[in-house]
Amino acid sequence: MSDEEKNTNDEKEVLNFNEVEPGEYEGNDIKKTSGESTEMTASDGKNDGSDGSGDTGGSGSNSSGGSGYEEICFVCRRPESKAGKMFRLPNKISICEDCMQRLMDQAAQFDYNGLLNNPDLLKELNRHGMPNISFVNMGDIASGIPNSQRIKKRKEKKEGEKPVFDIKKLPAPHKIKAQLDDYVIGQEHAKKVISVAVYNHYKRIGCDTSDGIEIDKSNILMIGPTGSGKTYLVKTLAKLLDVPLAIADATSLTEAGYIGDDIESCVSKLLAAADNDIDRTEQGIIFIDEIDKIARKKDVHSRDVSGESVQQGLLKMLEGSEVEVPVGAGSKNMMVPLAKVNTKNILFICGGAFPDLDEIIKNRLKKQTSIGFAADLKDKYDKDKNLQKQVKVEDLKKYGLIPEFLGRLPVICPFESLSRDMLVEILKEPKNAILKQYQKLLLLDEVDLVFDDGALEAIAEKAMERETGARALRAIVEEFMLDIMYEIPKDDNIGRVTITREYIEGTGAPVIEVRA
């Protein structure tokens, strides 16, 4: 076969070692078999999905056709928004221009003609033939990229287009608080502060800045004892507003380069909660719990990698900056794609119990006492359980929060300690109250569950003794409902069970009524 015939041949040459008979190798002439044509096209990121590559159901392929996901480079794992134009290879493999150039440079260094012209190699092939070798299917590897590591395409914003967040559809602060009242008992001041702060924040996102007036972001710092409803309030707020929410724990955060979670992991969790949609991520809420655990450590002469260093790392993120976060993973590595997220419009809510803050506030208030008949006694604040409501920025500085960090949390929202009456209301008033949950469980067995007022008060008193807030209520109810939930399915004649104070205190038994 001449060289001209080879160049004009439209069929692709496929080397099939299993079908080659000994003695058919003559120089560079290789047996040709008709096979599927291999096609490599350069993709500009637009795919109509007509080739079937847009099917992402369960396969997780990295082709973006029709699915709204960005393509990911098979080699460097960069998305198309960052790597640029992609080359689409068979088996749904996409490679960026940089990696393709490196692969071509590596392939150009290999002497294929010298390999095929090697007489010793040809003799071995003619004598024994090529052994049966099974190669790895690259399509299986490419299709193994899960959707959790693929970024959704951002919508192109046209000139004059209105913001995505419509101010007119945003509920007013009093409506937000009214909805919170259905789920959260008490904390009237805290609910009012958060309702106004959230309302102003999303008005800030949707307002027009063409007049040169740009509203600053107001992040929130919530201070309150454990079990007072800080986390539950934020969860309820995100559910009502239908915005993505990420809850991060500050205890695991460390300075970059040390063992633990990076600061960017908070934004990575929000990106996962928004289904890898960057537009929704940049309008979400991040709640950093246990923020008091990153306070500056006292009498520490070594590097404070989990205290003051974390506060300094959070400064730019709280204020608003572009950060690169891993997609679908907790840490950055070469096999995980990175997404660039702007935190300018992300609302940060930090919460913590601040257990020793009462003593700092008490010492500040004691300095204001005077001498005389109308003077305040020094032990006046010893039994005040709501002392954290008088917190000031100088108290938080003494606790260990740096001034730059506090300056980016302008809204300070103290929570009240739960009283006995508030605990009783928490048991029965919210839409998903603990008692309503157990009543629904027993209703499936066609049994009515009733708690009298004395039993509710006894449960609240026991919860106050544990000093863990509303979290103690479920533990106490679980303890006393164990025997009832175990015995009731045995007897189909039971129609009603009444929990009394005597049963909670251990001096009596529940009242059981048989069906009529």
pLDDT in tens, 203-230: 888 777 777 788 888 899 999 888 888 8
Q: Which residue has the higher pLDDT, 494 or 299?
A: 494
pLDDT digits (tens, 9 = 90+) for 101-124: 888 887 777 666 666 666 776 676
- One domain, residues 178 and 118: no
The answer as to whether 405 is a domain residue is no
Out of 51-60, 269-278, 284-293, least confident range: 51-60
Residues 232 and 90 in one domain: no
Residue 248 CA to residue 231 CA, distance in Å, equals 11
Domain termination residue (choose one: 352, 376, 392): 352
Residue 450, pLDDT score:
93
Q: Give a yes or no: residue 160 inside a domain.
A: no
Residue with tokens 């506090």: 406
Domain that holds residue 475: 420-514
Let me know: does 154 contact 279? Beta carbons within 8 Å.
yes
Tell me, yes or no, whether 138 and 191 share the same domain.
no
Q: Pick from 352, 382, 406: which residue ends a domain?
A: 352
In this structure, the answer to whether residues 231 and 94 fall within a common structural domain is no
Sequence-distant (≥ 6) Cβ neighbours of residue 101 within 8 angstroms: none
Q: Which has more confidence, 449 or 13?
A: 449
What's the pLDDT at 114? Answer: 64
Q: Are residues 171 and 142 in the same domain?
A: no
Residues 73 and 182 in one domain: no
Inter-residue contact 206 to 165 (CB < 8 Å):
yes
Q: Angle CA(249)–CA(254)–CA(259) in degrees, nearest 5?
A: 110
Q: Mean pLDDT across the stretch 457-484?
A: 91
- Same domain flag for 202 and 333: yes
**Structure letter (DSSP) for residue 83:** H
Strand partners, 69: 152
Is 400 a member of any domain? no
Q: Is residue 363 part of a domain?
A: no
Task: Indicate whether 362 belongs to any domain.
Answer: no
pLDDT at 503 over 90: yes
pLDDT at 130 over 70: no
With a cut of 60, say whether residue 79 has pLDDT above it. Answer: yes
SS3 for 459-486, per residue?
Answer: HHHHHHHHCCCCHHHHHHHHHHHHHHHH
Q: Same domain for 236 and 101?
A: no
* pLDDT grade for 8, boundaries at 50, 70 and 90: very low
The bridge status of strand 41-43 relative to strand 86-89 is: antiparallel
Judge whether 111 lies within some domain.
Answer: yes
Classify residue 435 by burial, with Cβ atoms within 10 Å: 0-12, 13-18, 19+.
Answer: buried
Distance CA 197, CA 180 (A): 14
Q: What does the pLDDT average to over 332-346?
A: 81
201 located within any domain: yes
Give yes or no: residues 85 and 226 share one domain.
Answer: no
Any idea which of 315-329, 452-466, 486-500 has the lowest mean pLDDT?
315-329
Please check whether residues 344 and 286 belong to one and the same domain. Answer: yes
Domain boundary among 98, 123, 149: 149
- For residue 16, the model assigns a pLDDT of 39
CATH number, position 454:
1.10.8.60
Closest to 69 (Cα-Cα) out of 182, 178, 150, 176? 150
Q: Which two tokens mark 242? A: 């239908």
- Whether the pLDDT of residue 516 is over 80: the answer is no
* The total number of structural domains that make up the chain: 3
Provide DSSP, 44-71. Answer: -S---STTSTT--TTT--S--TTT-BPP
> Which residue in this structure is represented by tokens 């992991």?
265
Nearest to 318, CA basis, from 351, 290, 285, 346 = 346
Residue 25 has pLDDT above 50, yes or no: no
Please state which of the ranges 179-193, 337-351, 374-388, 498-512 shows the lowest mean pLDDT: 374-388
Tokens 């960052």 belong to which residue? 82
For position 260, which CATH number holds?
Answer: 3.40.50.300
Residues 32 and 136 grouped into a single domain: yes
Whose CA is closest to 246, among 200, 287, 214, 197?
Answer: 287
- Nearest Cα residue to 295 out of 317, 320, 275, 312: 312
pLDDT value at position 227? Answer: 85
Distances (CA, A) of 124 to 116, 120, 128, 130: 12, 6, 6, 9
In a domain, 372, yes or no: no
Find the mean pLDDT for residues 92-108.
Answer: 83
Does 276 score more than 80 pLDDT?
yes
pTM of the model: 0.70
One domain for residues 72 and 132:
yes
| Rounded average pLDDT over 287-297 | 89
- Average pLDDT over the chain, rounded to whole? 77
User: What's the rounded Cα separation, in Å, for the pair 250 and 262?
Assistant: 10
Chain segment 340-397, per-residue pLDDT in tens: 899 998 999 999 989 888 888 888 887 765 565 555 656 666 667 778 888 899 999 9
Instruction: Say what the pLDDT of residue 165 is.
Output: 55
Q: In whole angstroms, what is the distance from residue 234 CA to residue 197 CA?
A: 12
- Specify the 3-state DSSP secondary structure of 348: strand
Contacts of 167 (CB under 8 A, 6+ apart): 202, 203, 206, 207
